Structure 1
Amino acid sequence: MMKKNLLKWPATAALVSLLFVHYANAQQSTGHDMEYYITHAPFKMPAVTEPHFNSKIYNIKDYGAVADGQTLNTAAFEKAITACSTGGGGTVLIPPGLWLTGPIELKSNVNLHADRGALITFSTDHTLYPIVNGKAQTLLSGTKLENVAITGEGVYDGGGETWRPLKKSKASPTLWSDMLKAGGVVSKDGSMLWPTKEAMEGEEYLKTLKGKANPTAQDYLPARDFLRPTMVSVQNSKNVLIDGPTFKNSPQFALNPKNCTNMIIRNVTIFNEYWAQNGDAIDLSSCKNSVVYRCTVHAGDDGICMKSSGGKGDALNDAALKNIVIADCIVYHAHGGFVIGSNTDGGMQNVYVTNCNFVNTDVGIRVKSSRGRGGPVRDIYIDNVYMHDILNEAVLFSTYYEDEKPAQPGQKFEVNSKTPIFSDFYISHVYGSGAKSAISITGLPERPVSKIHFSDVVLSATKPVDITEASTITMDNVKILSPQKTLITANNAWDISLKNISFDANVNTLINATGEKSKGITVSDTDLKNVKVGAGSAAGAVKVK
C-alpha cells in the first residue's frame, strides 16, 4: 500500500527544493572510493585490506556439479572447496547456470566466485540442514577462517518461504490468500501462518528441553523447522571479502558476519520481501575494522544493523563492535535504514555512516535497546544521509525495545552491565521528508540518553521532536517542519542547547518542558518572533541567551 504524502503545508516546495540542492551537491561530490572513507573517518580507522588468493581456478563442474536446477550439488561444492583450500587456495568458480545445493561450508584461502548468470538455489529439503549450535545449519557459512571471499555477480536464493512464518498483519489480503493456498498451518488466533506444524509448535517443544542437561542435536530435530537458519554467516574469521553477489529470500537474517576482523562487504544486494519475518539484510555482530560499501538493501526487518553480544572483558573500554565504516549504501524497505541494537551488551564504539539513502523504511536512523540487553554505545558519527517517505521516526533513540515497559510508581532499577548507554552521537547533514515523527529520544530514568549532537539537519514530519530522560542534547542549525504548534516536547530533559533553530510559521511554542529533572534548556540565535519560548510545568527551565 502506498503511504500518503504527510507533508501538505506551504513549506513543501521549499523543502523539496532544499533537499534536491543538498542531494545534488552530494552527488557531485561522490565517486569516492572505499579508501577515501576509511582515511576520512572521524576516528582513527585502521587500514582495511582485501584478501589475496592464488590464481588457480577450481570449476565446480569439474567436481561433478550439474547446472540443471534438479541435481543436488552439495557434494560437488564440498569437493571443489576442499581441493582449493588443501591445494594452497584460489578461486572456486560457479559458472552461469542453475545450481541446486544444500549447505555450503567455506574454508580458508578460498574465493567462492559466482559469475553473472549463476543462480544458486538452496534446497528446500530441510533434512539437509543439521542442527548446529541449536539452530538449523547456516546455508553458506565459514568458521575460524583466514583469507576467505564470496565474490561475483551471481544470485543466491535461500528458499526462505519454506522456513519463515507470515504475520497476517504484514500481508495484503491477496498475499495471505495465496500463501494459504500454498499450504501451511494457521495459528489458533489466526494471526500467523506457519509453513509446517513442526515450525508452529517448535517454540513450545523447545521449552521441554530447558530442564534437560546437555541436549543433543538429535533432541533439537523436532523443532528444526522453527530453528530457521541464517542465510550467510562467516564467524570468528579475519581477512573477509564479500563483493558483488545478490542474496535473496533468506530464511532469517540474510548476511550476518560474527566476530570478524578486517572485513569488506561491497557491492552486495540484499532482497527480502517486506513481509519476511526477521528478514534482516546486513547484520554485523561484534565485528571490528570493517567496511560496508555501496550495498543496496530491501529487507523485511532491519536494513544495515550493528549488533554486539557476548563481548569478552570490559565492554566500556574494549567494545566488541568497533571501527566500522558504512558508506554509499541505499536501503529501501526495512524496519530501519541504519540500526543499532537491540543487542548492545558487548559494547560499540567508532561507527561512521555517510552518504546513504533511506527510502520507505519504517525508521530512518534507529538506535534501540532495553534493560537486560544493553551496553555502552558511543562515538557514532552519521552524516550526509538523505531520507524520504519514512513511516515512523526519521531519527529514533529508544531504550524500551519490544516488551520493556516504563517503571511503575515506586519501582527503581540499578545501572548494571546490561543497561543501555547511548552517548556521544554526532548526527550532521541529515535531510528527510515525509516522516511521521522527526526526532524521538527516550532514555531510562536510571540512565538517560546523553551527548547527542545534531547539526545542519532538515526534517519534515507530522510530529516534530520529543525528548524524554535525556541530557546534553545539542541542536545547531536544525530545521524541523511540522504542522504541530509545539516544536519540542521535553520531559525530564536537562542541559539542552538549541541554537539557530528553524521551524514552520504555524509553531507558537518552541518547547514544552515537564518533569522535575528538566533544567538548563537554553535557546540562542533563533528567531522567536510570535513564538512562546517555554511552556509546561518546567517552563522556568527554558532560558533565552
Structure 2
Amino acid sequence: MSLSRRDFARASGLAAAGLLLPTGIAAAAADPWHEVPSILARICPPRICGKDYDVTAFGAKGDGLTKNTEAFQRAITACHRAGGGRVVVPAGTFLTGGIRLLSNVELHVSEGATVKFSTDPEDYLPLVLTRWEGTLCHNYQPFIYAFEQKNIAITGGGTLDGDAVNGKWASWGAGSTTLLRQWGEDGVPVEQRIMGPGKNMRPNMIQFFRCQNLLVEDVLIRNPAMWSLHFVFSRNITVRRIEIYSTNSQGDGVDLDSSSYAHVHDSKFNTNDDCVVLKSGRDADGRRVGIPSTHVVVERCKFSGRWGGITIGSEMSGGVSRVFCRDCEINAPDFPGRYPIKHALYVKTNQDRGGVIDGVHLRNVFGQNVEREVLFVSMYYQNGGTKGFFPRIDNLTIDRMRINGGRIAATFRGFPQQHVRNVRITSSAFTAIAEPNLIEHTDDLVFRNTTINGVVPA
C-alpha cells in the first residue's frame, strides 16, 4: 500500500493519539516498540512512607494454628488511619481468613514468613463485588482484596499460601458458571448476581478492584483456589521479582483485566493454566462495560506451565491493545515447571466475545519444548461460538523469536467473515517443529528473515 505524505502524517498523528488505524496504515506509521519507553515512564510504583505495624503487636500468632484474621485487619486499619506504612508479618506461619487491604498500606511478608489462608469458605464472607472469569457478580472475597483503594503494596521474601489443595476449594470445580454467564448475557443487574454459599464459585487469590498505584514484589504466591494475581479496572501496576506456583485448572498467574499501564518483569511462572494474561470481560457483560486492557509491558520473565506464556483472552470483549513482551524464556532448563508451555503466544477468542485485539508485540522470546503451537492465534476458541459478534485481531509482530521444539510453529485462524490482519514474523528461527503451519483467513501475513526447520516459510 502506498501512502501520500499527507496520509502518512495523518496516520502517524492517529497512532500517537492512541486510536485504532486501518491495517496497512498502522504498520507503516511507526515501529510499535518506540512506544515502550513512554509507557514505562508512566508506570510508577507507590512509595509508601510511615512506621511499621507488626501483626504480632495486634495479637497475631505465627503458630500455624491460630486464626489471625481479626489481628491482620486491626493492624491494616491502624496503619491506614495513621496515614500509611508497613504492616509486617514476621517469620512464622500465620493462618488467616480474608485480608482487606486499604490505601497507603504495604503488606510486608518477611523472609521466613508464610501467610496461610483458611480453607473454610465462611472465612471469606461477606460477599464482595468481583469479576469472575469476565462476568461481574458478588462472590466470596478473594483471599487478599482491595476495592477502590490506591497506593498499595505487597512485598517481602515470604510466602502467600492459598492451601487450595486442601479443604473445600479442591472439590468445588468451576461451580455455578452456567448460571452466572446466563445472568451476564441477560443483563441481570449486578446487585442481583449473588453467588457465594451454595454456588461453589472459588475466589481468586489476590484481587485489586478499581485500584491504582499498585506494587507486588518478591513474594512467592502458591496454591491459589483460582487465579493468582488479578487486577480489575485498575491502573499503574508493577509486578516484579515474584514467583507463582499454581495448582488447579483455573490457576492463572497474572491476569490484567480491563486494566492499563502495567509492568510485569523479572518474575517466574509455574502455572496450571496461563502465565501472564490480558482480559477485558466476557461476551455481553464485557461489551456492556467496554473497558479495554492496554499499555502493558512484560519482560525478563520465565514461563512454564500448562497453557500460554503470553495469553490474550478468551474473555476480551472490552478489547486489548498495546501489549509488549520481550526477553522472556519458555520452559527454561533451570525452571522446568510441572508442565511444558503449550503456546508461547496464545490468542483465543470467538464470535461470542466480539471486541478488538489491536497490537500484540513479542521480541526476543526464546525457549524450548513447546508442547503444541508456538504461536497460536485463533477465533475458534471453544468451537468458535454462535452469537455473531465477530472479534477483530489486528497488528501482531513477532521479532527475534528462537524456539527449539514444538508441534507447529504458527497457527493463525480467522473467520471467513472477519480475518486476522497484519502479522509480521521477523528475524526468527523455529527448530525441531513436527508439522507445517496452519493459516486460515489471515491477511498480510509476512515472514521475513525467518526459518522453520532451516527452511524459509512460503
- Shorter-chain TM-score category? 0.7 to 0.9
Q: Is the 8 A contact 1:378 1:424 kept in 2?
A: yes
Deviation, structure 1 residue 218: 11
2:318 corresponds to 1:356: no
Deviation, structure 1 residue 220: 3.9
- Find the partner of 2:73 among 73, 78, 85: 78
CA distance in 1, matches of 2:455, 2:85: 59
Q: Deviations over 1:12-52 (max 9, x none)?
A: xxxxxxxxxxxxxxxxxxxxxxxxxx996547424211211
Paired letter, 1:377: I
Deviation, structure 1 residue 222: 4.0
Residue 443 to residue 206, structure 1, CA distance change in 2 (3 Å): closer
- Find the partner of 1:159 among 157, 163, 168: 163
- 2:171 matched to which residue of 1? 195
Deviation, structure 1 residue 258: 1.1
CA distance in 2, matches of 1:138, 1:253: 10
Q: Deviations over 1:245-287 (max 9, x none)?
A: 11100001011111111110111110013xx111111111111
Give SS of 2:146's match: strand
For structure 1, the 5+ residue unaligned runs are: 1-37, 166-193, 408-412, 482-501, 505-509, 512-545
Q: Is the 8 A contact 1:260 1:287 kept in 2?
A: yes
Q: Deviations over 1:71-122 (max 9, x none)?
A: 0000000000000001110110011111000000000000000101001100
Q: Deviations over 1:214-250 (max 9, x none)?
A: 79899744425x2100000111111111111111000
CA distance in 1, matches of 2:230, 2:370: 25
2:451 corresponds to 1:479: yes
CA distance in 2, matches of 1:280, 1:314: 23
2:342 corresponds to 1:367: no
- Find the partner of 2:150 among 132, 139, 146: 146
Q: What is the RMSD of the two structures over their aligned residues, measured on CA atoms? A: 2.9
CA distance in 1, matches of 2:115, 2:96: 7
- 1:516 matched to which residue of 2? none
CA distance in 2, matches of 1:256, 1:281: 8
Paired letter, 1:148: I
Give SS of 2:364's match: strand
Give SS of 1:292's match: strand
Larger Rg: 1
- Find the partner of 2:258 among 286, 297, 306: 286
Deviation, structure 1 residue 464: 2.5
Identical-pair percentage: 27
Q: Is the 8 A contact 1:164 1:252 kept in 2?
A: no
CA distance in 1, matches of 2:323, 2:195: 37
2:382 corresponds to 1:402: yes
CA distance in 2, matches of 1:446, 1:361: 31
User: Any residues of structure 2 matched to 1:194-343 within 5 Å, and which?
Assistant: 195=171, 202=176, 220-224=195-199, 226-273=200-247, 276-309=248-281, 320-343=292-315
CA distance in 2, matches of 1:364, 1:78: 40
Deviation, structure 1 residue 146: 1.1
2:404 corresponds to 1:424: no
Deviation, structure 1 residue 335: 0.5
User: Any residues of structure 2 matched to 1:50-89 within 5 Å, and which?
Assistant: 50-89=45-84
Count residues with an aligned counterpart. 404
Residue 39 to residue 479, structure 1, CA distance change in 2 (3 Å): closer
Deviation, structure 1 residue 434: 1.0
Q: Is the 8 A contact 1:202 1:222 kept in 2?
A: no
Paired letter, 2:275: G
CA distance in 1, matches of 2:379, 2:182: 32
Residue 250 to residue 217, structure 1, CA distance change in 2 (3 Å): farther
Paired letter, 2:163: G
- 1:111 matched to which residue of 2? 106
Q: Deviations over 1:193-216 (max 9, x none)?
A: x626xx6875688799999x8798
CA distance in 1, matches of 2:124, 2:181: 22
Q: Is the 8 A contact 1:96 1:118 kept in 2?
A: yes
Instruction: Identify which range, 347-356 or 41-50, moves more after superposition.
Output: 41-50
Q: Is the 8 A contact 1:57 1:91 kept in 2?
A: yes
- Find the partner of 1:503 among 448, 451, 455: 455
- 1:389 matched to which residue of 2? 369
Paired letter, 1:480: I
- Find the partner of 2:442 among 470, 477, 480: 470
2:388 corresponds to 1:436: no
Give SS of 1:161's match: coil
CA distance in 1, matches of 2:370, 2:159: 29
Deviation, structure 1 residue 126: 1.7
Q: Is the 8 A contact 2:139 2:194 kept in 1?
A: no
Paired letter, 1:456: S
Give SS of 1:153's match: coil
CA distance in 2, matches of 1:209, 1:398: 27
Deviation, structure 1 residue 334: 2.8
Q: Is the 8 A contact 1:231 1:255 kept in 2?
A: yes
Q: Is the 8 A contact 1:253 1:280 kept in 2?
A: yes
